[in-house]
Structure 1
Amino acid sequence: MGLIDGHCEEKTNFSSLHWQDKITEPLIQHGKIFATETAESHGNNKGSIWVVLLSTFVAVCGSFEFGSCVGYSGPTQAGIRNDLGLSLSEYSVFGSILNIGAMIGALTSGHIADFIGRKGAMRISAVFCIAAWLAIYFSKGALSLDIGRFSMGYGIGILSYVVPVFIAEITPKNLRGGLTTVNQLMICIGTSVAFIVGTVVNWRTLALTGLIPCFILLLGLFFIPESPRWLAKIGKKEEFEVALRRLRGEDADIYQETAEIQDYIENLQDLPNPRIQDLFQMKYARSLIVGVGLMVFQQFGGINGFTFYASGIFVTAGFSSASVGTISWACIKIPITALGAILMDKSGRRPLLMISATGTCLGCFLTGISFYMKGHELLMEWVPILALSGILVYIGSFSIGMGAVPWIIMSEIFPINIKGTAGSLVTMVNWFGAWVVSYTFNYLMSWSSQGTFFLFAGVSAATVLFVAKIVPETKGRTLEEIQTTMNY
């Protein structure tokens, strides 16, 4: 590992000297993300960066769709129940069945992405989401609603895997973290837009707005290249070189990057087709522990409890109305996620994860203290303020690291021969954790409101230790370098 790290540092220093006089302006100014090409680019010009940015934009339309699907149920509960005469339990099925569909989508996502490509998987996801929105729009009862919501879950289950993987495979290493984080940012924006638009239009109209990112995604896929690494994996050498050339620029020297990818792929050719049990070989143990572990800590830290029941938490804490808390929530989440994207390739993955988990631990602790004070009638005037502070600290801290970084690391650490199978497993674990927390949260709150948040604080504290001891730093390294040092 030391030799490889040293080699990377030597290449980067040479690149900096080589390009210092040639490039006088930043290659990118997008959301205050500035980057200068390094050794991996080998002569990328400005035009090639825009191909990467266009490809990323198209892919994250899927992320926006993801957020729209998740956020749809929030503002529509009263309207759907009144119009269709649904009971609370029927609406609860409608809301929760999304996670079931997403788990199944996650299980199949890797195989689909490996069989028909990253673009093909995104097309299938878009088709499922379009069918889902139409089923909901034309619904006359609970059954068609549930079928639509389940199909929606299946579509976003695939998207939750394939979008970060596609972005990681097309971007230069010095931009990979920041651009992959845009995935999480667009999920946040999609959720917020669905909530805001849902307060001014009815539930059927809101369903139609969910079609927009699907159509943009389907159209955009015609104008962007497929993942070069996937093309190399299936033996399409000419298409691989054409795709890499489009992404790196017509004047770029892609010889070294091409050779590195092809050599890596050739070393994997003699390996058998992976099965789920193959993931548990010792050589993949660290990657599997890191990938699954981060998803477990992300979900069992309580994010879906905070997200799905934020309004209830604010009211329980003593707010006369939840509007102050929910508006503050929306105002803080998007800019801090954007800040995380800016810092991703500057500070690295590990520091962001540890800062984020420390913050979520503090946020949970403050929220737990507020409920303890309320239960014992101590300083009651401070209880709502302390609860609001704790929740905002939690969501801000989660947004800067724990929201996006586990997905980025998941897309980086698995060798391409097992990436599909491993990615499916990791994504399924994430959705299963989301379902467990969202399903049990109200029961935990009935057991002990302060105990619930202290429990989440303990999980966040354990996350800091896990990252410090187990999770590697992947900033500034090619995918092949990361995977070689972790798995062989």
Structure 2
Amino acid sequence: MDVENGKSSGRSEMKQPLIQHINPKHESKRKGLLKVVLLSTFVAVLGSYEFGSCMGYSAPVQAAITEDLHLSIAEFSVFGSILNVGAMIGAITSGRIADFVGRKGAMRVSSAFSITGWIAIYFSQGALLLDIGRFLCGYGIGIFAFVVPIYVAEIAPKDLRGGLATLNQLMIVIGGSVSFLAGTVLPWRLLALTGIIPCLIQLVGLVFIPESPRWLAKVGYEKEFYNALRRLHGDNDDDISHEANEIQDYLQTLRHQSKASMLDLFQRKYMHSIIIGVGLMMFQQFGGINGVGFYASQTFTSAGFSSGKIGIIAFACIQVSSTGTFLGCFIAATAFLMKEHNLLQQWTPLFVLCGLLIFEGSFAVGMGAVPWVLMSEIFPINVKGVAGSLVNLEHWFGAWAVSYTFNFLMDWSPPGVCAASVVFVAKVVPETKGRTLEEIQASINS
């Protein structure tokens, strides 16, 4: 031990008993840094909660809005699906916005659009303002869908990144669940106002959390880059030097490459990442998740429930657990087939309920979460903006297509799509656990 300098060499530390490595001050500092990471993640995933609130809003209020505003089925269908149109436009611009104003700036833009949208829905007296509000909410969550997982992946230590990134999907399904449940007891206008709450909390919280260090390094804010790393991963240069050097070296390599455009994504070196991102989003959406969610109340009523509320409540509660999207689709489809042929009709409502709950729960912990986590990991930072916009656009186009043509898809084969996704993941998608973002991207895009 060097008493004068108050430091010990790495070699002498290795000779000390293991118990002496547990320095109370170091442990306290580590916990303090972890609190900053957790707080930053919580503020970010409030955007995911808002995402879920928007997605879950239409199902429980369909009857009330249709009656109060005298909407036709076609008009309400436009209201339900225009969220995805707004999200598609948000997806196109999300990468550029996040690259231009930063990850925190993009979340501020998203919150502002979402708040404006909810206020428009609250004051609507007809279909026009109702649709404008829904469109603005869609634009907001189109940006949230891209920037939240990106921000979380870029601030999280590699040993925590996977767990923290899955909070994105968890908050989406919690937001949707709360919206489902609240919609069974609250008037539709009041339910719209509850969608503003997470945005307001996020706007306040963004003041207190650091910007993504990787974005700061990319745009040349060196002082802010080191300050953000210290707040997140260490309070002095020794704690963050290795990570800082790794990020800077990686960015230095990327600076020799020209600024990426959408066409550049189809170069051979990026194709593996694009195939993974687009493929996962395609399988995620064409399994039928948005059709199931948007028309849950109508589906339960068609199955024979006297009211859709019982199914909606169970549907909301199950979103955070379970397995088997294929099994869920198969059970629901079999139940409707039996009803069509007058077989065991008294069991049809129960089978449909079980099938949809199994489907939704399985989606929440599998294909719902994994594509967003991988999207935040697989693209190099020089193409992350345009690549994220492309994948996000594909996601929302799929969501719109499924919600608009849900009844036709149910006559097709959602179980087949779910089964195909299993093969795709097994053959194409890499393992990213325990690797830095730079290591993942170098291995995929080499």
Q: Same fold (TM over 0.5)?
A: yes
Structure 2 contact 49–171 (Cα < 8 Å) conserved: yes
Q: Which residue of 1 aligns with 2:277?
A: 291
Paired with 1:401 and 1:444, the residues of 2 have a C-alpha distance of 21
The one of 48, 61, 69 aligned to 1:84:
69
Q: Which residue of 1 aligns with 2:150?
A: 165
Paired with 1:140 and 1:149, the residues of 2 have a C-alpha distance of 14
Please state how far the C-alpha of 1:110 moved relative to its aligned partner.
Answer: 0.3
Q: Which residue of 1 aligns with 2:7?
A: none
Q: Which residue of 1 aligns with 2:124?
A: 139
Counterparts of 1:400-411 in structure 2, within 5 Å, are: 400-411=365-376
Q: Which residue of 1 aligns with 2:315?
A: 329
Matched, 1:278 2:261: no
Query: Per-residue CA shift, 1:216-255, capped at 9, x if unaligned?
Result: 1111111000000001111111110100000013256111
Matched, 1:249 2:238: no
The structure-2 alpha-carbon separation of the partners of 1:295 and 1:173, relative to structure 1 and needing over 3 Å to count, comes to same
Paired with 1:86 and 1:18, the residues of 2 have a C-alpha distance of 74
Q: Which residue of 1 aligns with 2:200?
A: 215
Matched letter for residue 205 of structure 2: G
Please state how far the C-alpha of 1:23 moved relative to its aligned partner.
Answer: 5.0
Matched, 1:467 2:432: no
Q: How many residues align?
A: 431
The structure-2 alpha-carbon separation of the partners of 1:444 and 1:232, relative to structure 1 and needing over 3 Å to count, comes to closer
Structure 1 contact 130–211 (Cα < 8 Å) conserved: yes
Matched letter for residue 433 of structure 2: K
Q: Which residue of 2 aligns with 1:426?
A: 391
The structure-2 alpha-carbon separation of the partners of 1:414 and 1:24, relative to structure 1 and needing over 3 Å to count, comes to same
The one of 136, 142, 164 aligned to 1:151:
136
Matched, 1:388 2:374: no
Q: TM-score, normalised by structure 1?
A: 0.84
Query: Per-residue CA shift, 1:57-81, capped at 9, x if unaligned?
Result: 1111111111122222223233333
Matched letter for residue 380 of structure 1: Q
Query: Per-residue CA shift, 1:306-347, capped at 9, x if unaligned?
Result: 2122233333333344333322222221355xxxxxxxxxxx
Please state how far the C-alpha of 1:44 moved relative to its aligned partner.
Answer: 6.6
Structure 1 contact 44–248 (Cα < 8 Å) conserved: no
The structure-2 alpha-carbon separation of the partners of 1:81 and 1:305, relative to structure 1 and needing over 3 Å to count, comes to closer
Paired with 1:201 and 1:381, the residues of 2 have a C-alpha distance of 31
Q: Which residue of 2 aligns with 1:353?
A: none
The structure-2 alpha-carbon separation of the partners of 1:387 and 1:271, relative to structure 1 and needing over 3 Å to count, comes to same
Counterparts of 1:33-432 in structure 2, within 5 Å, are: 45-250=30-235, 253-335=239-321, 359-432=324-397
Paired with 1:239 and 1:421, the residues of 2 have a C-alpha distance of 24
Q: Alpha carbon RMSD of aligned pairs, Å? A: 2.4
Structure 1 contact 363–389 (Cα < 8 Å) conserved: yes
Matched letter for residue 367 of structure 1: A
The structure-2 alpha-carbon separation of the partners of 1:255 and 1:367, relative to structure 1 and needing over 3 Å to count, comes to same
Please state how far the C-alpha of 1:462 moved relative to its aligned partner.
Answer: 0.7
Please state how far the C-alpha of 1:260 moved relative to its aligned partner.
Answer: 0.5
Please state how far the C-alpha of 1:366 moved relative to its aligned partner.
Answer: 2.0
Paired with 2:353 and 2:60, the residues of 1 have a C-alpha distance of 21
Q: Which residue of 1 aligns with 2:8?
A: none
Structure 2 contact 85–138 (Cα < 8 Å) conserved: yes
Please state how far the C-alpha of 1:386 moved relative to its aligned partner.
Answer: 2.8
Amino-acid identity (%): 63
Q: TM-score, normalised by structure 2?
A: 0.91
The structure-2 alpha-carbon separation of the partners of 1:199 and 1:24, relative to structure 1 and needing over 3 Å to count, comes to farther
Paired with 1:215 and 1:81, the residues of 2 have a C-alpha distance of 29
The structure-2 alpha-carbon separation of the partners of 1:325 and 1:24, relative to structure 1 and needing over 3 Å to count, comes to farther
The structure-2 alpha-carbon separation of the partners of 1:180 and 1:242, relative to structure 1 and needing over 3 Å to count, comes to same
Please state how far the C-alpha of 1:175 moved relative to its aligned partner.
Answer: 0.7
Counterparts of 1:453-464 in structure 2, within 5 Å, are: 455-464=413-422
Structure 1 contact 47–249 (Cα < 8 Å) conserved: no
Please state how far the C-alpha of 1:20 moved relative to its aligned partner.
Answer: 7.3
Paired with 2:22 and 2:391, the residues of 1 have a C-alpha distance of 40
Please state how far the C-alpha of 1:425 moved relative to its aligned partner.
Answer: 0.4
Query: Per-residue CA shift, 1:90-147, capped at 9, x if unaligned?
Result: 2222221111000000010000000110001001111111111222222232222221
Paired with 1:193 and 1:266, the residues of 2 have a C-alpha distance of 45
Paired with 2:84 and 2:49, the residues of 1 have a C-alpha distance of 17
Paired with 2:306 and 2:130, the residues of 1 have a C-alpha distance of 33
Structure 2 contact 181–312 (Cα < 8 Å) conserved: no
Deviates more, 1:146-155 or 1:374-383: 374-383
Matched letter for residue 428 of structure 1: L
Q: Which residue of 2 aligns with 1:349?
A: none
Paired with 1:171 and 1:373, the residues of 2 have a C-alpha distance of 49
Point out where structure 2 has 5 or more consecutive residues left out of the alignment.
1-12
